[in-house]
Structure 1
Amino acid sequence: MASIAPAESKAAAQAGAGFIFKKALISALVALVLFSLMIGVRTEAGPEGQLIYWTRFQELAGMVAAVFVGSIVVELLRRWWGPVDTPRLMPEGARKTLAVAGRAVAPALLIFTFLVPVIFYDQRYILDLGILVLTYVMLGWGLNIVVGLAGLLDLGYVAFYAVGAYSYALLATNFGLSFWVCLPLAGILAAFWGVLLGFPVLRLRGDYLAIVTLAFGEIIRLVIINWQSLTGGPNGVSGIPRPTLFGIPLVPGENGLAALLGIPFSPSQRLVFLFYLILALALVTNWATIRLRRLPIGRAWEALREDEVACRALGINTTTTKLTAFATGAMFGGFAGAFFATRQGFISPESFTFQESALVLAIVVLGGMGSQLGVALAALTLIGGFELFRGLDQFRMLVFGLSMVFLMVWRPRGLIGHRAPTVYLERNQTISSDLVKEGHG
């Protein structure tokens, strides 16, 4: 018997090695088929319009080899880790440490964000990147109301972003209104268009809702392109005024803020002001979302997300629930659009394509629908990741797509999955025997 046991274990190991090798080989063949046209052959239009191409077989072989080795490593790790459903007990000390670390992530991230302009005052690139990340954080928090809380799949969120940007640009350039006057107007106009979108989709859900919202975003973009007398068409709107601090412009000269404070003027001062401005707008969005979740309308959004039929059966007005979700999310998108217009000083339809909607939706989904912290971390990861892989040129989008696939396999509910109800019973309660036969609830 002792001699039979090692033989059986050796045969099982050989069978397991054969299975791993076979699975890795199949993965490599699939990668070869998929990447042959994506990486192996590069095509471009020639100077006379003809199609020219060249091969990149070395890069293709490297990618296939990476898939082969990666498949083996993943399978070995899976066997070493064991079944995913197997419960693993964590030491009490480690659990408490992770809990404390989890609670400290949000305050630490907020403190670091406040200190970014101080630490990187003379680094324009870092400040610009921080402003861009915070803009997408605000957009993600606005879309999180529609997708994460109300469960309404919106693929045309960029339309409200565009409405807010063009509202501020046209009001400021044609009527000379300041940023602080146009900001609430941009949010109100975007919310109005959110209500207009909400009415046609009251009876739609799932894929049909996504198609209609996608069409709405494209309609807004095409209207902006073709209504040249109002929006400037493809030429866009230029000369958009910059924001001021209590009416004091951040410009060189006697009337500028630096001259009034008696300090030398620096171009970084305007970037620091824009950084704290978008940070304040994002924090207001976060605060409003958290407060709304605790109100009856926020609980109605959560009920609508979980089950629309049950929500209607409970007597909740799904019409007003959907319209308020679209209007609230659109309002914050309009605020972000107004900031984008004043930051750039120029806007055009190319800034409001479907790719922007897809990116914001990816931030919400990957961060965890309903999670404020998860959306912020996802925006930092995706937007910062774009910059980290900027030097990869053609492989940039490939790395971005692969990272999203791996993340969704590893964390299907996002970085921080949060679907817990706002109100729940902390402990079971015993009820009267008149209500149930058993006498216990």
Structure 2
Amino acid sequence: MAVADPRPSAPGIPFGALLGDALLAAILALALAMPLIGFETVDVSGGGLGLNYRFGAVAVVVAAVFVGRLALSLIGHGLALPVLVLAAVGTVAAVGRAVTGDTLAGLLAVPAAVLTIRAGLVVWRGATAGREVQVVPAAAAASARRAAPPLFLALAVLFPFLPFVDQRLLDIAILVLTYVMLGWGLNIVVGLAGLLDLGYVAFYAVGAYTFGILADAAGFTFWMALPLGGLMAALFGILLGFPVLRLRGDYLAIVTLGFGEIIRIVLLNWYEVTGGPNGIASIPRPTFFGLPFRASPEEDETTFADFFGLEFSPIHRVIFLYFIILALALVVNAFTRRIRRLPVGRAWEALREDEIACRSLGINPTNTKLSAFAIGAGFAGFAGCFFAARQGFISPESFTFIESAVILAIVVLGGMGSQLGIVLAAFVLIGLPEFLRELNQFRMLAFGAGMVGIMVWKPLGLLAHREPTIRLGTARVVPPGGAG
């Protein structure tokens, strides 16, 4: 494939056409930015709403689009090296301004960094064109792949104790790990078995309400209700699986969507059991081997801080919740990686590729689909039980269709069947918007721009390639006589 030469070739560059193209992009950006950014409603002192004009922000966005479009065109015409230098300087300057609290500079740092990476790749490819370059030796790459999981695990374990980690970061990490666990559960149904499920949040709700109802009616603790929440959700997965055994594609998606809505409406209207729209409150929090993290006003009991001689801090409970969801996610990951190598896991992948071929090979599609629905739903039940324990309150508003859509987006964005891809996608879809809250009204605009960029550059997912579940070994040649 031809690679653009990064060295300047100014005489052949149609600057007039490039400027016209960049100007057209800037005009389109102006038409979009004016209603989205240019006006802001504010409360006025006498009551009512007033209009605030932000034409300066619109001008910055339009100028950024003009410069970015022109830079991309220049990269395509062989001027990647000058663009690389200018974009790198702009990135450093924008980041420096963003650190001081300049919101617009923080927004401009993202496209400047993208231009830097784009120009750098073109420069590197042009410099290595015509000769084979091995960036990392094969042995070193294999060693890095083996060392990466223990390093990531050590980082995850030490994360709460790092000096820059506060309660806000821990809350974001807990939220991301919860969606990682949900993504891994749905990955079994969608990524491995190829069954499109749009009602996955129903199993999440079943696990949460199982704990809430048992705690309210029978005084169950979190550790007592955790296995029951998973089992109850798995049972509902089997109940869903039976009616949809003969469905596939869009029809399967519609039925699962309806199932999720049925569960939500039942939770909303079965007031005597679920509390209806009021939900269930005062759900007990997990304890550390019977030691609560906060003493009850009615009882004189030994708390976690008293037992270990520590000063009371609310972050102790948050750290404990972090390790609970981390342990649950690691168990789900280990179970999924193991079961994919077993016959049932290979049957899921075969079912995803061709159901008719599965039947011809003697694979029972009924049992295969039911096992996928049950195991995936069980993982959602565990996550739901943890969600109820973390929040202390649950209601039907927490289990709407948008939750199923977000979990499905995590699986698709990460790459169908990719465990690590789901982790990255959960951080992008769940963690990144939380970190961008400081951008205020620009938060979703920056998030949407990032999603569009991912769809352009990674349409098959962040990690579309994944290693085969099993590999066929190299044939061993047996010498004559059978000696070997």
> TM-score if structure 1 supplies the norm length?
0.84
Q: Which residue of 2 aligns with 1:155?
A: 198
Q: Which one of the candidate residues 416, 426, 448 is aligned to 1:369?
A: 416
Q: Which residue of 2 aligns with 1:109?
A: 152
Q: Which residue of 2 aligns with 1:90?
A: 133
Q: Which residue of 1 aligns with 2:350?
A: 303
Q: Would the alpha carbon gap of residues 391 and 284 (structure 1) be closer, same or farther in structure 2, given more than 3 Å must change?
A: same
Question: Counterparts in 2 of 1:31-46, with a 5 A limit?
Answer: 31-41=29-39
**Aligned partners of 1:149, 1:171: CA distance in 2, in Å?**
33
1:310 shift after superposition: 2.8
1:323 shift after superposition: 1.7
Q: Which residue of 2 aligns with 1:72?
A: 70
Q: Which residue of 2 aligns with 1:338?
A: 385
1:118 shift after superposition: 2.1
Q: Which residue of 1 aligns with 2:90?
A: none
Q: Would the alpha carbon gap of residues 222 and 44 (structure 1) be closer, same or farther in structure 2, given more than 3 Å must change?
A: farther
Q: Which residue of 1 aligns with 2:283?
A: 240
Check conservation: 1:172, 1:241, Cα contact below 8 A: yes
Check conservation: 1:221, 1:353, Cα contact below 8 A: yes
Question: Counterparts in 2 of 1:22-421, with a 5 A limit?
Answer: 22-41=20-39, 56-78=54-76, 81=122, 89-91=132-134, 93=136, 97=140, 100-119=143-162, 123-252=166-295, 254-421=301-468
**Aligned partners of 1:229, 1:210: CA distance in 2, in Å?**
31
- 1:250 maps to amino acid: F
Q: Would the alpha carbon gap of residues 36 and 113 (structure 1) be closer, same or farther in structure 2, given more than 3 Å must change?
A: same
1:142 shift after superposition: 1.1
Q: Per the alignment, in what secondary structure is the counterpart of residue 389 of structure 1?
A: helix
Q: Would the alpha carbon gap of residues 407 and 426 (structure 1) be closer, same or farther in structure 2, given more than 3 Å must change?
A: farther
**Aligned partners of 1:290, 1:373: CA distance in 2, in Å?**
11
Q: Per the alignment, in what secondary structure is the counterpart of residue 241 of structure 1?
A: coil
Q: Would the alpha carbon gap of residues 30 and 429 (structure 1) be closer, same or farther in structure 2, given more than 3 Å must change?
A: farther
**Aligned partners of 1:59, 1:215: CA distance in 2, in Å?**
44
Q: Per the alignment, in what secondary structure is the counterpart of residue 13 of structure 2?
A: helix
Q: Would the alpha carbon gap of residues 127 and 67 (structure 1) be closer, same or farther in structure 2, given more than 3 Å must change?
A: same
TM-superposition CA deviations, 1:166-203 (whole Å, max 9, x none): 11011111111121221111111111121222233333
Q: Per the alignment, in what secondary structure is the counterpart of residue 347 of structure 1?
A: coil
**Aligned partners of 1:116, 1:204: CA distance in 2, in Å?**
44
Q: Which residue of 2 aligns with 1:436?
A: none
Check conservation: 2:293, 2:316, Cα contact below 8 A: yes
TM-superposition CA deviations, 1:266-301 (whole Å, max 9, x none): 322222211111111111111110111011110011
1:54 shift after superposition: 6.0
Q: Would the alpha carbon gap of residues 227 and 96 (structure 1) be closer, same or farther in structure 2, given more than 3 Å must change?
A: same
**Aligned partners of 1:248, 1:19: CA distance in 2, in Å?**
72
Q: Would the alpha carbon gap of residues 115 and 19 (structure 1) be closer, same or farther in structure 2, given more than 3 Å must change?
A: same
TM-superposition CA deviations, 1:186-232 (whole Å, max 9, x none): 11111112122223333333333333323322222222222222211
**Aligned partners of 1:236, 1:77: CA distance in 2, in Å?**
57
Check conservation: 1:168, 1:341, Cα contact below 8 A: yes
Q: Would the alpha carbon gap of residues 42 and 417 (structure 1) be closer, same or farther in structure 2, given more than 3 Å must change?
A: same
Check conservation: 2:159, 2:165, Cα contact below 8 A: no
Percent of pairs identical after alignment? 58
- 1:379 maps to amino acid: A
Check conservation: 1:149, 1:301, Cα contact below 8 A: yes
Q: Per the alignment, in what secondary structure is the counterpart of residue 385 of structure 1?
A: helix
Q: Which residue of 2 aligns with 1:439?
A: none
Q: Per the alignment, in what secondary structure is the counterpart of residue 346 of structure 1?
A: coil
Q: Per the alignment, in what secondary structure is the counterpart of residue 151 of structure 1?
A: coil
- 1:359 maps to amino acid: V
> TM-score if structure 2 supplies the norm length?
0.77
**Aligned partners of 2:291, 2:200: CA distance in 1, in Å?**
33
Check conservation: 1:122, 1:268, Cα contact below 8 A: no
- 2:350 maps to amino acid: A
Q: Would the alpha carbon gap of residues 404 and 99 (structure 1) be closer, same or farther in structure 2, given more than 3 Å must change?
A: farther
1:22 shift after superposition: 4.8
**Aligned partners of 1:10, 1:120: CA distance in 2, in Å?**
51
Unmatched 5+ stretches in structure 2: 1-8, 81-121, 478-484
**Aligned partners of 1:196, 1:164: CA distance in 2, in Å?**
15
**Aligned partners of 2:210, 2:381: CA distance in 1, in Å?**
9
1:382 shift after superposition: 3.0
**Aligned partners of 1:107, 1:75: CA distance in 2, in Å?**
43
Check conservation: 1:285, 1:332, Cα contact below 8 A: yes
TM-superposition CA deviations, 1:49-70 (whole Å, max 9, x none): 9998665444344333333332
Unmatched 5+ stretches in structure 1: 1-8, 431-441
Q: Per the alignment, in what secondary structure is the counterpart of residue 240 of structure 1?
A: coil
**Aligned partners of 1:413, 1:125: CA distance in 2, in Å?**
32
Check conservation: 1:173, 1:241, Cα contact below 8 A: no
Range moving further from structure 2, 273-282 or 226-235: 226-235
TM-superposition CA deviations, 1:50-103 (whole Å, max 9, x none): 99866544434433333333233334445553999x998432546655554454
Q: Would the alpha carbon gap of residues 186 and 112 (structure 1) be closer, same or farther in structure 2, given more than 3 Å must change?
A: same
- 1:314 maps to amino acid: L
**Aligned partners of 2:178, 2:63: CA distance in 1, in Å?**
39
1:308 shift after superposition: 2.9
Check conservation: 1:120, 1:127, Cα contact below 8 A: no
How many residues are paired up? Answer: 419
1:26 shift after superposition: 4.5
Structure with the larger RCO, 1 or 2 (CA within 8 Å, 6+ apart) = 1
Q: Per the alignment, in what secondary structure is the counterpart of residue 294 of structure 1?
A: coil
Q: Which residue of 1 aligns with 2:113?
A: none
TM-superposition CA deviations, 1:215-255 (whole Å, max 9, x none): 32222222222222221122111010111233333334543
